[in-house]
């Protein structure tokens, strides 16, 4: 039987990084076998790779979040970093139109296309951040011949979920699915086929119930699994097996490191 996998965490954040040994121990006690720590800018990418070298069960990703366009990035450097044996994805990348004072739509699209080009060159799946932008996301993705990827921390409509699945991609659920008002999201979690979803924490954000409002951590992915198990009327162990299988199918480079 497979253990749990937190498919999207940010282990580089101060509150987690400063007590990382303890967080990793608690994750293991909660049944978490592997963690993918996801980068958002050049500094966090480097820190993630360093963390992945310290812990055999941590993978890393390389990518620039849409809000970090103004921080700058070197495409050639990102491609080189993507060759590291523990880097299994390009992410997190995408578009976020929620904040009016954030990076312009045109700059975000430029960045996103650059990240998709890197994914194509490196042959890696990508981790999508999508907020109020689905038409532009799919238009940009249609320009590239890329393998299936994952829309992380999904909170959008069933209609867009169906579109994601029709395009061959995966959907990942975080702690939001446990919130009292997330009725529609739980319906989507029930609707997605077994072979097309993942679970995550997105820590240190979005702690699941009963820790909502507190700092999130990888151990809490077990609560996401339990919620989805209840929705789908299966055992939590089944969710662990299903999502682990999906993780290693999607992030094929990670499969080389399975202990």
Alpha carbon of 39 to those of 26, 83, 150, 184, 190: distances in Å? 22, 15, 15, 29, 29
Place 2 in a pLDDT band, splitting at 50, 70 and 90.
confident
Return d(Cα 138, Cα 131) in angstroms, integer.
12
Number of independent structural domains in the chain: 1
User: Over 70: is that where the pLDDT of 78 sits?
Assistant: yes
pLDDT at 98: 86
Return d(Cα 207, Cα 41) in angstroms, integer.
23
Taking only the tens place, the pLDDT of each residue in 103-143 is 899 999 999 999 999 999 999 999 999 999 999 999 999 99
Place 248 in a pLDDT band, splitting at 50, 70 and 90.
very high
Q: Average pLDDT for residues 198-213, to the nearest whole number?
A: 97
Taking only the tens place, the pLDDT of each residue in 8-52 is 999 999 889 999 999 999 999 999 999 999 999 999 999 999 999
Residue 46 domain boundaries: 4-257
Burial zone of 136 (CB within 10 Å; 0-12 exposed, 13-18 middle, 19+ buried): middle
How much of the chain exceeds pLDDT 70, in percent?
98
Q: Average pLDDT for residues 231-238, to the nearest whole number?
A: 97
Place 259 in a pLDDT band, splitting at 50, 70 and 90.
low
Distance in Å from the first CA to the final CA of the chain: 13
- CATH number of the domain residue 182 falls in: 3.20.20.140
pTM: 0.96
DSSP 38-102: PP-SHHHHHHHHHHHHH-TTEEEEE---GGGGGG---HHHHHHHTTSTTEEEEEEEEEE-S-TTS
Sign of CA dihedral 59, 63, 67, 72: positive
Cβ pair 45, 62 in contact under 8 A = yes
pLDDT at 103: 85
- What residues contact residue 197 under an 8 Å CB cut-off, 6+ apart? 170, 171, 172, 173, 189, 228, 242, 243, 246
């Amino acid at each position: 039987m497979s253990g749990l996998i937190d498919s999207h965490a940010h282990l580089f954040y101060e509150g987690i990084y400063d007590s990382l040994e303890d967080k990793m121990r608690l994750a293991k006690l909660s049944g978490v076998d592997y963690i993918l720590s996801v980068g958002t800018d050049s500094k966090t990418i480097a820190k993630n790779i360093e963390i992945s070298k310290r812990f055999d069960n941590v993978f890393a990703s390389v990518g620039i979040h849409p809000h970090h366009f103004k921080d700058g990035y070197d495409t050639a450097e990102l491609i080189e970093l993507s060759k590291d044996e523990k880097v299994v994805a390009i992410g997190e990348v995408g578009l976020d139109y929620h904040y009016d004072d954030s990076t312009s739509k045109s700059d975000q699209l430029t960045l996103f296309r650059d990240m998709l080009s890197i994914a194509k060159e490196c042959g890696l799946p990508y981790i999508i951040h999508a907020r109020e932008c689905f038409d532009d996301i799919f238009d940009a993705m249609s320009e590239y011949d890329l393998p299936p990827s994952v829309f992380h921390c999904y909170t959008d409509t069933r209609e867009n979920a169906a579109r994601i699945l029709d395009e061959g991609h995966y959907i990942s659920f975080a702690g939001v699915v446990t919130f009292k008002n997330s009725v529609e999201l739980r319906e989507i979690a029930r609707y997605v086929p077994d072979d097309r979803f993942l679970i995550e924490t997105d820590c240190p954000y979005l702690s699941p119930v009963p820790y909502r409002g507190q700092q999130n951590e990888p151990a809490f992915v077990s609560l996401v699994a339990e919620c989805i198990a209840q929705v789908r009327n299966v055992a939590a162990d089944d969710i662990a097996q299903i999502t682990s299988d999906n993780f290693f199918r999607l992030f094929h480079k990670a499969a080389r490191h399975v202990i």
